[in-house]
């Protein structure tokens, strides 16, 4: 079981030709006779020669690898993003290094050093806490940011959070909801801050001032939804609809409601954000679908074929109506 890979040198020896000739055969040059080509190819086949991609890439002093910094692999949105980028990377013969940072700054820095060591071509950063990195120390790595923009010098890709929240607010407004709350605000998370702000603005344009007590802070996990449920139930002036910063929060909210015998949408109308992997939840959550494949494609392009000037992509979103909202009497 411990056979070694055969190299181009051994093939040349076995075929009784020069290394240059083997190279010509491998690269499909016509400057070899049929007889030599067949001899070399039969040896390649017999010994199952596989070109060493790593060695080939090494001479350019970058490897055909990119890194993806992710802080929460338990979140289905990020799992979908990993899957999508992984697929694109593989199709383009890139290796994807997944840096699961768990929101730990030390781990982020350690991973970055490692990326430099293996000469990744570029790094995709999703939400995270990296702030004090000397970006200019990242040599010839191309960085791109998902859902945040660290500096004008780097490209970024994000969903149209503002449009998404507007779609949700309009939808709830048309169902006659006026007491609309927000669950899962985290000022450290750029996308969520943008969603929260868009929620305040969209309601403001409809003449509704959001009371402070209608904004519940927390991270993007299901637990935040469960806590938000308890909190909103405790308010004297209960909201009738909840916009959750993501679907996980909506799921947690719904579970908690079920647990104490309340029902969505009878007791609360509920909407989420992300639109992935919630198909087997009941009720089906009305949400904003992010175009994960397009996000992945743009992120990949930005690291692998960087433009002269950084680009800032805002990806379109769409409303997916489930059955988690009810119409109120006017």
Binding-site ranges for a copy of itself (CB under 8 A): 1-5, 7, 48, 50-55, 57-58, 61, 63, 65, 73-74, 76, 79, 82-83, 86-87, 90, 93, 95-100, 110-111, 113-114, 116-119, 136-137, 139-140, 142, 153, 221-223, 225-226, 251-252, 255-256, 258-259, 277, 279-283
Smallest separation, CB 286 to a copy of itself (Å): 16
CB of 25 to a copy of itself, least distance (A): 18
For the bound state, the minimum distance from the C-beta of residue 107 to a copy of itself, rounded and expressed in Å, comes to: 8
**Between residues 50 and 212, which has the closer beta carbon with respect to a copy of itself?**
50
Question: Which residue, 35 or 50, is less far from a copy of itself as judged by CB?
Answer: 50
**Residue 255 C-beta: closest distance to a copy of itself, Å:** 5
Question: Cβ 38 to a copy of itself, closest distance in Å?
Answer: 21
CA angle 92/98/104 to nearest 5° reads 150
Output the CA–CA distances (angstroms, integers) from residue 249 to 75, 160, 227, 255, 286, in the order listed. 10, 20, 9, 10, 13
- Rank residues 58 and 188 by Cβ distance to a copy of itself and give the closer one: 58
Q: Shortest approach of a copy of itself to residue 316 CB, angstroms?
A: 24
Least distance to a copy of itself, CB of residue 272, Å: 14
Report the C-alpha gap between 120 and 67 in whole angstroms: 7
What single DSSP character describes residue 5?
A: P
Could you give the CA distance from residue 330 to residue 233 in angstroms, rounded to a whole number? 22
Q: How far is CA 11 from CA 18, 26, 54, 95, in A?
A: 9, 11, 19, 28
277 alpha-carbon distance from chain centroid: 14
Looking at residue 205, the DSSP 8-state letter turns out to be H
Please, which residues have CB within 8 angstroms of residue 302's CB and are 6 or more apart in sequence?
122, 124, 142, 144, 155, 157, 311
Q: How far apart are CA 28 and CA 306, in angstroms?
A: 31
- Which residue, 210 or 285, has its beta carbon nearer to a copy of itself? 285
**Comparison of 134 and 329: residue with beta carbon closer to a copy of itself:** 134
Q: What is the DSSP string of 58-98?
A: HTTTS-SEEEEEES-TTSHHHHHHHHHHHHHHHHTT-EEEE
- Residue with Cβ nearer a copy of itself (15 or 66): 66
Smaller CB distance to a copy of itself: residue 32 or 142? 142
To which residue do tokens 């910063």 refer? 245
């Amino acid at each position: 079981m411990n056979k070694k890979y055969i190299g181009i040198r051994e093939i040349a020896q076995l075929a009784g030709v020069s290394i240059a000739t083997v190279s010509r055969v491998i690269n499909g040059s016509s400057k070899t006779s049929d007889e030599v080509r067949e001899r070399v190819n039969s040896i390649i086949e017999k010994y199952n020669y596989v070109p060493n991609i790593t060695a080939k890439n090494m001479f350019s002093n970058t490897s055909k690898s990119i890194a993806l910094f992710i802080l929460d692999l338990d979140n289905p949105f990020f799992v979908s993003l990993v899957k999508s980028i992984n697929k694109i990377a593989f199709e383009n013969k890139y290796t994807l290094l997944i840096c699961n940072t768990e929101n730990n700054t030390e781990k982020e820095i350690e991973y970055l050093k490692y990326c430099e060591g293996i000469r990744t071509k570029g790094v995709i950063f999703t939400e995270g806490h990296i702030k004090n990195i000397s970006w200019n120390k990242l040599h010839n790595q191309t960085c791109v940011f998902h859902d945040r923009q660290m500096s004008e010098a780097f490209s970024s890709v994000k969903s149209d959070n503002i449009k998404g929240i507007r779609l949700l607010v309009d939808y709830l407004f048309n169902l006659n909801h006026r007491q609309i709350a927000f669950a899962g605000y985290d000022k450290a998370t750029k996308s969520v801050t943008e969603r929260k702000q868009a929620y305040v603005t969209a309601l403001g344009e409809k003449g509704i001032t959001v009371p402070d007590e209608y904004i519940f802070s927390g991270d993007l996990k299901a637990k935040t939804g469960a806590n938000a449920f308890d909190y909103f139930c405790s308010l004297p002036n209960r909201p009738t609809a909840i916009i959750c910063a993501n679907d996980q929060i909506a799921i947690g909210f719904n579970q908690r409601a079920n647990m104490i015998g309340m029902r969505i949408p009878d007791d609360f109308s509920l909407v989420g954000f992300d639109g992935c992997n919630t198909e087997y939840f009941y009720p089906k959550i009305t949400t904003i679908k992010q175009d994960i494949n397009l996000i992945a494609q743009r992120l990949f392009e930005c690291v692998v074929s960087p433009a002269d000037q950084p680009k800032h992509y805002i990806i379109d979103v769409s409303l997916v109506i489930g059955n988690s909202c009810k119409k109120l009497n006017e």
